[in-house]
Structure 1
Amino acid sequence: MKLNVTAQAAKWYKEEFEPGKNAHLRLFVRYGFGGRIPGFSLGVSSAAPDHVYASATTDGITFFIEEKDAWYFDDHSLTIQMDQQEQEPEFVYG
């Protein structure tokens, strides 16, 4: 599983979360719409890593996914990039 976060998306998260230096943002599975699997989506929270499944550091922020959420990705990669029309991050699965 490869996780990639573009510089534009990291900047957006910095502005929204104001995470500070050497911050960690966790991507977690939740009930919702618009995700890779119907009925589920990804949430984002500020949290320290425990058992990391995948991670990427962009612009001083470490984005990570815990092992307990690995099932959601099923060996797919994830890129977080900016949706230029909506001016917010979008999750692209590969």
Structure 2
Amino acid sequence: MKITVTDAASKWFREDMGMTGRGIRFFGKVYGKTPVHQGFSLGMTPDDHPRHPIVAEKKDDVTYYITEGDQWFFVGYDLTVDYDAQTDGPVYRYAENGELDH
């Protein structure tokens, strides 16, 4: 499991959300859907104090991470965070990585 943040997404988080020197936590939440989960969607929130991160990616002085409590949502997948100019916001892509929940 890993997180990849594109240059365009990094720019959006820094310029539109003012996230320089801060943290973004990704998590699974009830309701919605993703290409890999029915009934659950991906959430993100500014959070500068990671508790038990299991994976993190630091890019342009912003730390993007997933905590131990949200591992269930990402097991078996890598997350790529990109920018969508049409919606002027992030878009999330999942790629299978073959990891199993232990």
**TM-score interval, normalised by the smaller of the two chains:** 0.7 to 0.9
Give the structure-1-normalised TM-score: 0.87
Give aligned-pair identity as a percent. 32
User: Match for 1:33: what amino acid?
Assistant: G
Equivalence map 1:10-25=2 (5 Å): 10-21=10-21, 23-25=22-24
1:86 Cα deviation from its structure 2 partner: 2.7
Counterpart of 1:49?
50
Query: What is the RMSD computed on CA atoms of the aligned residues?
Result: 1.4
Aligned residues: 93
Counterpart of 2:72?
71
Runs (4+) of structure 1 exceeding 6 A deviation are none
> Which of the two has higher C-alpha Rg?
2
Give the structure-2-normalised TM-score: 0.81
Give the unaligned 5+ runs of structure 1: none
Q: Partners of 1:11 and 1:34 in 2: how far apart?
A: 26
Instruction: Give CA deviations for 1:43-92 in whole Å, capped at 9, x if unaligned.
Output: 11111101011111111110000011011112211100112433321110
Give the unaligned 5+ runs of structure 2: 96-102
